């Protein structure tokens, strides 16, 4: 067969191989964000894991709910930073190995005593949560919501929650530890430690993964490549180093600012 004919036959395959996988994401600094270096820690991990097998990635920046729906319909190849649940509960997706572990903590105003072991003392507390996360389903936080006796303030984003906390519109707010520290530092870099502290005991910990549209013909190959890349990054210590770099520019709360409710 002439060389030209071979090239013409291979062109569609080469084009398909070069096409990036399209993953839906939202704004969740420092893990994901259009203006963050490498798109944030989680996007950096995912992009690097795929790159090990030669697969490029493009990110569709949408609301979290819209991105998940597009992935469910096959209009995106997948969605990132969703809970790693059993695949039986995710019939539309293949679920990757964990990318990051989210530790949800409760931030509270300094001087407002709160203790997870004694939720009855939360009577009158002004609580809140963002509408895109099911934090109200976390047992420890659900008990506080019930004990407060005040309807919670439901907010559009973690940024809105942090601003409500700093402006004394609420007494406490649940958020991923790294996200909370990042947003506090962005909103009030020199004074936040005088206004906000965090309970030492986390509300919950859960792994976040990549969901891949199950019906795509390359989904299984993508999943294998991603999981292999994640395993290499984790075993080499690279993910730990990136996480350490993430924390370096910000001063986290000193020991006296991490409380058990006193």
Q: For residue 218, with 0-12 CB atoms within 10 Å meaning exposed, 13-18 middle and 19 or more buried, which class applies?
A: middle
Quick one: DSSP state of residue 35? T
CA distance 262 to 34: 39
Contact call for residues 165 and 109 (beta carbons, < 8 A): yes
Task: List phi, psi (to 5°) of 118.
Answer: -130, 70
Residue spans of beta strands (DSSP E) within the chain:
21-25, 57-61, 78-83, 93-95, 100-109, 128-130, 153-155, 172-176, 196-199, 204-213, 258-259
- CA gap 198, 193 in Å, rounded: 10
> pLDDT tens track of the chain, all 262 residues?
455 443 344 334 444 456 999 999 999 999 999 999 999 999 999 999 999 999 999 999 999 889 999 999 999 999 999 988 866 668 899 999 999 999 999 999 999 988 888 999 999 999 999 987 778 889 999 999 999 999 999 998 999 999 999 999 999 999 999 999 999 999 999 999 999 999 888 999 999 999 999 999 999 999 999 999 999 999 999 999 999 888 764 444 433 333 333 3
pLDDT of residue 87: 66
d(CA 201, CA 259): 9
pLDDT of residue 88: 64
β-pairing, 78-83 vs 204-213, is antiparallel
Output the furthest CA–CA distance in the chain (Å, rounded). Answer: 82
83, 209 Cβ separation under 8 angstroms:
yes
- Burial profile 174-184: b = 16 or more Cβ within 10 angstroms, e = fewer: bbbbbbbbbbb
Distances in whole angstroms, Cα of residue 244 to Cα of each of 48, 226, 229, 239, 241: 17, 22, 20, 9, 5
The residue whose two tokens read 């530790």 is 103
| pLDDT at residue number 257 | 36
* DSSP calls for 195-246: TEEEESS-SEEEEEEEEEETTSTTHHHHHHHHHHHHHHHHHTTHHHHHHHHH
């Amino acid at each position: 067969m002439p060389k030209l004919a071979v090239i013409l036959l291979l062109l569609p395959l080469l084009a398909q191989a070069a096409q990036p996988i399209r993953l839906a994401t939202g704004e969740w600094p420092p893990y994901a964000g259009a203006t963050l270096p490498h798109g944030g820690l989680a996007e950096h991990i995912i992009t690097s894991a795929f790159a090990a097998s030669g697969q490029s990635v493009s990110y569709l920046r949408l609301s979290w709910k819209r991105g998940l729906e597009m992935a469910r319909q096959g209009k995106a190849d997948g969605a990132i930073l969703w809970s790693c649940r059993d695949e039986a509960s995710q019939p539309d997706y293949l679920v990757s190995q964990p990318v990051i572990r989210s530790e949800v903590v409760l931030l509270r105003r300094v001087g407002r005593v709160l203790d997870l072991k004694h939720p009855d003392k939360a009577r009158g507390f002004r609580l809140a949560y963002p509408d895109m996360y099911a934090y109200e389903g976390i047992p420890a936080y659900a008990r506080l919501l019930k004990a407060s006796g005040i309807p919670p303030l439901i907010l559009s984003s973690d940024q809105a929650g942090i601003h409500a906390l700093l402006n004394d519109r609420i007494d406490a707010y649940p958020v991923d530890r790294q996200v909370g520290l990042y947003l506090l530092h962005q909103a009030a870099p020199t004074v936040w430690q005088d206004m906000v502290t965090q309970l030492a005991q986390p509300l919950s910990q859960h792994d976040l993964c990549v969901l891949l549209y199950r019906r795509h013909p390359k989904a299984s190959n993508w999943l294998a490549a991603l999981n292999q890349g994640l395993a290499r990054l984790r075993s080499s210590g690279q993910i730990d180093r990136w996480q350490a770099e993430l924390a370096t520019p910000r001063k986290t709360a000193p020991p006296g600012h991490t409380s058990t409710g006193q």
